[in-house]
Structure 1
Amino acid sequence: GFWPSANRAFAAARAGTPFSIETLMTIAAVGAVIIGAAEEAAAVVFLFLVGELLEGVAARRARASIQSLAGLVPKIALVERNGAVEEVPAENLSVGAVILIRPGDRIAADGLIVEGDSAIDEAPVTGESVPVRKKAGDAVFAGTINADAVLRVKVTAAAADNTIARVVKLVEEAQESKAPTERFIDRFSKIYTPAVLVLGALVAVLPPLVMSASWSEWIYKGLAILLIGCPCALVISTPAAIAAALSAGARRGLLIKGGAILEALGSIDAMALDKTGTLTEGRPKVTDIVAFGRSESNTLSMAAALETGSSHPLALAILDRAKADKVPVPPASEAFALGGKGVSGKVGGKEIFLGSPAAAGERVALPADMLAQIAAFNDAGKSVAVLIAAGVPAGIIAMRDEPRADAKAGLAALRAAGVEPVMLTGDNRRTAAAIAGDLGLAVHAEMLPQDKQRIVRDLQSSGKKVAKVGDGINDAPALAAADVGIAMGGGTDVALETADAAVLHGRVGDLAAMIELSRRALGNIRQNITVALGLKAVFLVTTLVGVTGLWPAILADTGATVLVTANAMRLLAWRPRGVGE
């Protein structure tokens, strides 16, 4: 049992690291044999190897926690080719291929739904506890589960580039990067270890030389000092906690690219958030339908008839609302778009127009109550479409990119954590002010990418640690300038690559959860360092006064390693506050 550790000590010395943990243990074990404490030497070697084993178990558990994500992707996919379906290895799927996903199947690749409407269980990848309803045009992740209907999905990323593969790769790279605390511990141990050797030598030699004390007694105590000084627990205290925290975050859709970022998140006290796609859903929804001389459903029905087949975001919002309300959508004839104005056609033999208030006003005089309603909707930051049927104003449809369902609660959680949020957006001032007013946020509107970066710099110059959250290319400069850049789930590749961290599911509440995880990890590291150094201080005193000896010394070091490792592993079970409580 002694040889493997001694061999590593010699190898480390030849490589230029003479003051390793193995060196201290080797000197202590050899010295114990020389002074006739062979049984204690054996106990020292055995307990040291147990400690090494426990460190290995801790590292493997942290790695396995994130690597298990890779096992979520099925090995086989059903590919449609020439009208037939065949099984192919999922790792061989090419971008553009169309795969068939049956109810209950795991999705084999990142892609876009081309046909079908189903609930998708994203819990394995993002931690989302409730299945998400998805339809044609929506994105799906590899490893998620199709719940209740057949889907046809067009592959958008090869196996090596899908969401899970990228998460695993980024977390592994992150675990290899050292945090500031970890780098400090490394530097500290390079000074600490030779200092322990010198202290052990002085304890062994000075009392016999100066006070004519017993050589065997003080050499024994000097060897015990070497074992007490082993910095095993101290060295593992930070990387074990960081590896566990990074893995726990990734399993809940919080991707943090390294220990340095994990530490920095804990000190954030200001957060600049983009509006579209970050605080809001990123696509307009119908918020209001006002009918004139007919029912709301009839107004919506005629509007949807004209918009059928259009891919314009506002048209899709109207069609989605018609589908949700289950209103009939009659066929339209002679429908054609009028550039920048709207769309015109015939529904049920009547001439119908749907377009901007200005374009509608050019066709017919709009009544005062309709104009007042349009102005109110515009003041609330909503886009308005006016419906004219057979030359008569028939209704108003208002649309807006609405805040995410959890935006208010997420912002409240940030404030509770001592982080002050502010909105930065390129959108017009009226729309931005309306959304910010709903959310209770300060706002900077009509901002270019360089303007967003300037605001981040201004916040930093006022002494704040700033996180920037965004999802688009225009956010990249500000993401790079911030102390921590965070990309939202549906963001562009540029945003995801520029950012230091990513919220894969796109929930605003996950931003506060990410900061909570960072602070929990930092607290865990402080606990670990206290345990590691505290036990050493206690046994240093008890050894010098003769209460403890060699095997209790190594047991104390191994015990500290066990406690530190177990404490760090608690982070693997971390849940954001309020989840499962």
Structure 2
Amino acid sequence: MTKKQRKLLNRIIIAAILFIAGMVSPHVLPENQITGYIEFAVFLASYAIIGWDIIWKAICNIRQGEVFDENFLMMIATVGAFILGEHSEGVAVMLFYQVGEWFQSYAVAKSRKSISSLMDIRPDYANVERGGKLEQVDPDEVQIGEIITVKPGEKIPIDGTVVSGISMLDTSALTGESLPREVEEGMDVISGCINQSGILKIKTTKEFGESTVAKILDLVENSSEKKARTENFITRFAKYYTPIVVFAALALAVIPPLVTGDNFSEWVYRALTFLVISCPCALVISIPLSFFGGLGGASKCGVLVKGSNYLEALADTEVIVFDKTGTLTKGSFAVSKIKANGMSNDALLEIAAYAEDYSTHPISQSIKRAYGKEINNSRVQDVQEIAGHGVSAVIDGRKVLAGNAKLMNREHIAYEPCNEAGTVIYVAVDNKFAGFILIEDEIKEDAPFAIKQLKASGIKQTVMLTGDNDAVGRKVAAKLGLDKVYTQLLPADKVVHVEELLQSLHQTSSKGKLAFVGDGINDAPVLARADVGIAMGGLGSDAAIEAADVVLMTDEPSKIATAKKIARKTLAIAYENIVFAIGIKLIVLALGALGFASMWAAVFADVGVSVIAILNAIRALNVKKYDVKPAAASAKIDYAENLSCKTI
């Protein structure tokens, strides 16, 4: 809770206590003039505590020429209630209004923190070779053409070209690829990647301000400014409603007595009653609470929505754009196909698992998981890791090679190439090709169900943007039935494609919104630029979660369809409350102007309608989750099928 929210909550509590004291005082104190003064003083103190900022805003807006807004209407309606002697009504209206404001503020600010504080891809320093010595300097001080040294575990601070060294880079923060990337002399590297193994010497090709990591940080900041904000309904409504009501009340107080010759006091009383009736208490309370109920209902389903405007935008979403790794896929690798040559698939998998046993590489781990049995290390001897190629080992006295195509070519082994998308491990035994194992990033179990439900809910287009290679990206998109796929993208490229999709959407639909779903730091700029940014919260990066407007806390893509269903229900309830509140107001306003509506009718038109609207708003909390278990079961990978050479 922020300091500002805590102050408002304290004001609400104090004002509520005084309000209750004012309501109770006539029943516990003797009936005399002093009791009346005490009651008035208590209500006035409560009103001043809870409503001073609304009054001040109204006065400031009047000074700036912005007279007719909700603050002005709240002020004249509650002051009118005090003039009519309905002190409790004046306080209650302001108190209910502030409670609604606090709930709205708390719901939005609870999970919103500074994006920049969590963008940990920014490097703290750079190791520069100057005068034969290694100096640790600020990345901004490094010039183009200087040589920097990046040790294992450090971030690459500036874009450049490798001049010496071989290593594996963790590029997942930038490209979304969970598979480490091998780099060697002559290859270009980008800032923000993490050096995992060897020492690299890099010749810088850009200044820090123009490097990839700096551009990502800049994109997040600029994209946040571009995000469209839904204008608050009550503000738009008040622009028309408030001046009409005020001038109608003024006319009611002046014109009839001038025409009929009646006493002015009677018509002034009617005009003030008219103003009390006109106070949009039901709207200013029930509408925020409708959305707050929707936010609460979404939270019960594991979906965190950071504000009612995002819930409204989600209901109007027509295009959903997905990242691949960590969003539609698990970001972990599994054996998807085995093809043996001269031996069984089980035997080939066993040999590969033994050869890879000493490696901690993600590919090695996936092979050992597929094998699923305990490995007898006494069978393995003379294990050697060949950088950038694979491993060599002696297993049961036989020389086994397991690695990429470069390893087969290096050892002059004729092999059958695998042209399918994914990472291929070729295996040779005693310099003879024994087969290959295909390894792929696993598709999330409920991803197919998610796409199906989204299309059933009215989503017109599903798109995937990924930094992965083209073959892998298209294969995943085809399995899931996505409409479009763009591959081999950097963060800036993703923003460009989202901008194009937004432009195309706005040309065909006036209300349609675009949502982007991602999980990595590289997705933060796009999450901030989309109409609705959706982050995978359970495994996603902190930066993506903070940049997003909606967070799926369970990492299930199918929750997007659930969130859209909740958003539509919430909007329907809000519209019901709007129609009901305005309809009752207009009827009672007419009766009040004709003198048929007493203050009791005014109280019903205000507080009574508010209570009914609030009870209706609570329905937004009652939501049903989609049942994803059948879909998950049908999409689950069966290793028995993998071992018999079938693909997922």
User: Shared fold (TM-score greater than 0.5)?
Assistant: yes
Distance 2:576 2:611 in 1: 13
Match of 2:381 among 333, 348, 351: 333
In the other structure, the counterpart of 1:510 is: 559
Paired residue secondary structure (2:617): helix
Paired residue secondary structure (1:319): helix
Deviations 1:510-529 (A, max 9, x none): 22233333333322322222
Give runs of aligned pairs for residues 84-233 of structure 1, distance below 5 A: 180-182=230-232, 184-186=233-235, 188-189=237-238, 192-193=241-242, 195-213=244-262, 218-233=267-282
Match of 2:292 among 243, 247, 272: 243
In the other structure, the counterpart of 1:279 is: 328
Deviations 1:490-532 (A, max 9, x none): 2333333333333232221122233333333322322222122
**C-alpha contact 1:485 1:500 (8 A) present in aligned 2:** yes
Match of 1:523 among 567, 572, 581: 572
In the other structure, the counterpart of 2:456 is: 416
**C-alpha contact 1:12 1:20 (8 A) present in aligned 2:** no
In the other structure, the counterpart of 2:496 is: 454
Distance 1:423 1:65 in 2: 30
**C-alpha contact 1:303 1:318 (8 A) present in aligned 2:** yes
Deviations 1:34-59 (A, max 9, x none): xxxxxxx5xx5556666677667778
Distance 2:107 2:77 in 1: 33
Report the TM-score when normalising by structure 2.
Answer: 0.62
Distance 1:66 1:226 in 2: 32
Distance 2:566 2:288 in 1: 15
Distance 1:178 1:270 in 2: 16
Distance 1:64 1:452 in 2: 32
Aligned residue identity for 2:531 = D
Asked if 1:475 corresponds to 2:516, the answer is no
Paired residue secondary structure (1:15): helix
Aligned residue identity for 2:496 = R
Asked if 1:499 corresponds to 2:499, the answer is no
Paired residue secondary structure (1:344): strand
The alpha-carbon deviation at position 66 of structure 1 amounts to 10
In the other structure, the counterpart of 1:142 is: none
Deviations 1:540-580 (A, max 9, x none): 22334444321122122112211222222322333444589
In the other structure, the counterpart of 2:144 is: none
Asked if 1:484 corresponds to 2:565, the answer is no
In the other structure, the counterpart of 1:21 is: 74
Aligned residue identity for 1:302 = I
Q: Which runs of 5+ in 1 are unaligned?
A: 32-40, 70-176
**C-alpha contact 2:298 2:305 (8 A) present in aligned 1:** yes
In the other structure, the counterpart of 1:549 is: 598
Paired residue secondary structure (1:519): helix
In the other structure, the counterpart of 1:114 is: none
The alpha-carbon deviation at position 538 of structure 1 amounts to 1.6
Distance 2:238 2:43 in 1: 18
**C-alpha contact 2:285 2:614 (8 A) present in aligned 1:** yes
In the other structure, the counterpart of 2:357 is: 308
In the other structure, the counterpart of 1:355 is: 403
**C-alpha contact 2:58 2:75 (8 A) present in aligned 1:** no
Distance 1:574 1:62 in 2: 20
Match of 2:347 among 298, 313, 317: 298
The alpha-carbon deviation at position 292 of structure 1 amounts to 3.9
Distance 2:382 2:629 in 1: 56
Aligned residue identity for 1:202 = A
Asked if 1:388 corresponds to 2:437, the answer is no
The alpha-carbon deviation at position 281 of structure 1 amounts to 0.9
Match of 1:403 among 439, 443, 448: 443
Deviations 1:154-185 (A, max 9, x none): xxxxxxxxxxxxxxxxxxxxxxx996342x41
Aligned residue identity for 2:306 = K
The alpha-carbon deviation at position 470 of structure 1 amounts to 2.1
The alpha-carbon deviation at position 190 of structure 1 amounts to 6.8
The alpha-carbon deviation at position 384 of structure 1 amounts to 1.8
Distance 1:236 1:472 in 2: 38
Paired residue secondary structure (2:58): coil
Report the TM-score when normalising by structure 1.
Answer: 0.68
In the other structure, the counterpart of 1:463 is: 505
Distance 2:598 2:626 in 1: 45
**Corresponding residue pairs, total:** 453
Give runs of aligned pairs for residues 44-63 of structure 1, distance below 5 A: 44-45=86-87
Aligned residue identity for 1:512 = A
Q: Which runs of 5+ in 2 are unaligned?
A: 1-21, 23-39, 60-71, 112-226, 507-512, 631-648
**C-alpha contact 1:297 1:327 (8 A) present in aligned 2:** no
Paired residue secondary structure (1:234): helix
**C-alpha contact 1:51 1:562 (8 A) present in aligned 2:** no
What is the identity percentage for the equivalent residue pairs of Structure 1 and Structure 2?
Answer: 34
Which range is displaced more, 493-502 or 399-408?
493-502
Which range is displaced more, 285-294 or 535-544?
285-294
In the other structure, the counterpart of 1:264 is: 313
The alpha-carbon deviation at position 317 of structure 1 amounts to 0.7
Aligned residue identity for 2:294 = A
Aligned residue identity for 1:21 = M
